[in-house]
Amino acid sequence: MIDVAWVGAVCAALAWSGLVRDGGGPAVIAGVRAAAATPDEEHPRFLALSVSDAPEDVITVIRAGARGYVTKAISAADLTDAIEPVLSLRMLDAAGVSPDARVVDVGGGTSRLVDSLLARGHHDVTVVDVSDVALGIAKRRLGCDAARVHWVHADARTWSPGRTFDVWHDRAVMHFLTSAADLQRYLHTLNTATGPGAVAVFGCFAPEGPTHCSGLPVMRRDAEDLAEVLGPQWSLVTADRELHATPGGAEQPFTWAAFVRSGAAVGVQGGA
């Protein structure tokens, strides 16, 4: 893996020397790859940072090879998560999830968790999202690696998986389900898609978090609340908190928790 600082230095050197001229992000990507002269599997990965969020600019740099795209308004916390989803990975590690685990990221959309899972050696990863547009962005970001992922355009409340998974990951999906009927449909999918020993990871607004997100009401929970919702067949493994900083400077407290379903473990390391 090429050092990020080295890549940044090469980008600056290329720009300073005029090698990228007015080519923008795509020229930087092409220039760094040419300068690196490494085998394909060792090529650096790119996250584009720009002042523009115009769709044509995003599409151009993603097609050129960038794995993601953020603007200068992004917070430090969001930028870190754009590079690697720290809390998600921390929960998976605490639960002892191995690369052999069959993972489904529910509401994964444009999340970069799938990138990290592939980089860790996972070979059975499914991403489910209600937005086909979001899935398309993720596929373009991954490029050739997209073929290594199962992509499902579906609503978790009505999805019929047709198989089971060792790991269920949900960042900010369940907390949008404010009606008992929707929550029960979601839980039915969760319990149908998992078996004994499965791990479930949730990220949701904490009790003191906002009451609405994107104009929609949300449920706020701590780890104990999540345990009560899931029922006695799910046992808490670990929990954590995250302060998510918005572009406007506000802080949104998140609850993170990992659970294991009662029974023998499958696809996880001993001690999960």
State residue 85's pLDDT score. Answer: 80
**What is the average pLDDT value for the chain, to the nearest integer?**
81
Question: 21 pLDDT band (50/70/90 cuts)?
Answer: very low
What residue has token string 């490494």?
38
Identify the pLDDT of residue 16. Answer: 37
Identify the pLDDT of residue 157: 97
pLDDT band at 214 (very low <50, low <70, confident <90, very high): confident
pLDDT digits (tens, 9 = 90+) for 38-50: 554 445 656 677 6
Asked whether the predicted pLDDT for residue 25 surpasses 50, the reply is: yes
**Whether pLDDT at 34 is above 60:** yes
